[in-house]
Amino acid sequence: MLKDLLESFASSGRVEWIGLRPARKVPMQVVETATITESGLEGDRRENPGKRAVTLIQMEHLPVIAALAGLESVTPDLLRRNILVSGINLLALRHHEIRVGGAVLRTTGLCAPCSFMEKTLGQGGYNAVRGHGGLTAEVVTSGEIAVGSIVEPLCRR
C-alpha cells in the first residue's frame, strides 16, 4: 500500500528553465535546450560523472525562498541549479529514476545550499534555501532536454 502511494503522482512535471554554470561564481548562461551527457549538461562546469552531475530545483519553492530571505523574488540563476521544474514534487522523486526530456536521471539526494547563498541572497540566505534547494542527480541515459520538456517518474503507476 505505502509503495503504491509513494509511486502515485497527480501529473507529470515540466522543465521551466535551464541554466549552465561555465565556471565557479560567474553568471549562469540561460539556454532553451541542452544535451545531458554522463557528466551532466554540456557547457556546465561539471566534468566528471557522479551523483551530483545535474541539479534540479522546484519552481514552486522560489517564492518560499524569497519570503524566507526577505526578498520580493528569487530567480533560478541566483540559486545556481541546472534545471527548474514545475508541476511535480521533486522531493517525492528523491532516489527515483526520472525521465527529463530525452534523458534519464537517478536522483541521489538533497542539493544543500553553499555559503555563496549568504552573499547572493543576503544575511540568512543560506538558511532560506535549506530544505528548498532541490535535488542532485546522476545520469543514467544521456539525452536532449528543452524548456517545456516533460519530467516524469519511471516507476509503476
Q: 10-67, pLDDT tens digit by residue?
A: 789 999 999 999 988 889 999 999 999 999 999 998 777 899 999 999 999 999 999 9
What's the rounded Cα separation, in Å, for the pair 4 and 33? Answer: 34
Sheet architecture: strand order including 33-37: 40-41, 33-37, 143-146
C-alpha cell, 53 = 552531475
Residues near 139 by beta carbon (within 8 Å), at least 6 away in sequence: 36, 37, 38, 39, 40, 49, 53, 54, 103, 104, 105
Which CATH code, of 3.20.20.140, 3.40.640.10, 2.40.33.20, 2.40.320.10, is assigned to 2-153? Answer: 2.40.33.20
* Element holding 152 (H helix, E strand): strand 150-153
What's the rounded Cα separation, in Å, for the pair 142 and 24? Answer: 24
Model confidence, pTM = 0.92
Q: 67-78, pLDDT tens digit by residue?
A: 999 999 999 999
Would you list the domain boundaries of the chain? 2-153
